[in-house]
Amino acid sequence: MIVYLVANSLFLWVLPGYYNVFDNGQASLEPLFVLSPWLFLFLVSAVTMKSFAEEKRTGTLEILLTKPLSELQIAVAKYAASICLVIFAILPTLVFYYSVYQMGTPHGNIDTGGTLGSYIGLFFLASIYASIGILASSLTDNQIISFILAVVTSLVMYLGFDSLATMLPDSMQWLSSLGINEHYKSMSRGILDTKDIFYFLGVDLIFIYLTQLVLQSRRW
């Protein structure tokens, strides 16, 4: 979390370039929401990599599965814990919003609606990364393998479908709607479309369900 916040701070306020708020010359947090999906690839994967992998390595997963809890409840609990950590990582960035709000000319010259939509989109994006990370962790007892699986799968979900759509005929452009980026960009414009929300919730449910199946397979 500290690495995520420090990295954003350096890019937004210290290092010169496109992402620097002062060099950009606009009262906008767009650079934050461009950078965050890439930083979250590693942050969320690092947060989730121990979820089940460490339990397997130490042998405590078997003890956990003997408790009066269903595999779904265990998967959801691990997922919720990861989401809480992600929220704690996002909340300090509100200082960036306050800073840009104060420095805008005229005062408060920032697209609050668009920024709010971007924050909501960032949360949903992180929620998919978390569900992917939980699944990756349930597949192995090695944290490093879990981390790599989560990063690669999250990257494919974020940009893979967009890249595939660009290589196919125009009739196949709908494939981009299966990727995270298409829906994340829509929310970043400040538009909360129900199809985007259903997409994020649906993908979360799919990966949590797959995690449940992996846990259940240990009983077979």
Structure tokens at 128: 């998919």
Split at pLDDT 50, 70, 90, the class of 220 is low
pLDDT at 173: 67
The pLDDT score that the predictor gives to residue 184 is: 87
Task: Please tell me the predicted confidence (pLDDT) of residue 170.
Answer: 67
Select the more confidently predicted residue: 23 or 201: 201
CA atoms of 110 and 114, how far apart (whole Å) = 9
Contact 128, 203 (CB under 8 A): yes
What is the reported pLDDT for 4? 87
In contact, 51 and 133? CB cutoff 8 Å: yes
Mean pLDDT of 1-19: 86
**More confident position, 79 or 178:** 79
pLDDT tens digits along 130-152: 999 999 999 998 999 999 999 99
**Structural domain for 192, as ranges:** 2-217
**Cα distances (Å, whole numbers) of residue 7 to 64, 83, 90, 207:** 36, 20, 13, 29
Rounded alpha-carbon distances, angstroms, from residue 53 to 38, 47, 77, 142, 211: 23, 12, 15, 6, 12
**Residue 14, exposed/middle/buried by CB under 10 A (0-12, 13-18, 19+)?**
exposed
Query: pLDDT tens digit string along 51-109?
Result: 898 888 888 888 888 888 888 999 999 999 999 999 999 999 999 888 888 887 777 67
Give the model's pLDDT for residue 217: 84
For residue range 12-55, list pLDDT tens digits in order: 888 887 888 887 777 778 888 888 999 999 999 999 998 898 88
Distance CA(21)–CA(63), nearest Å, equals 50
Neighbours of 22 (CB within 10 A): 10
Of the pLDDT bands very low, low, confident and very high (cuts 50, 70, 90), residue 172 is low
- Model pTM score: 0.89
What DSSP line would sit under 75-88, residue for residue?
Answer: HHHHHHHHHHHHHH
How many domains, the chain?
1
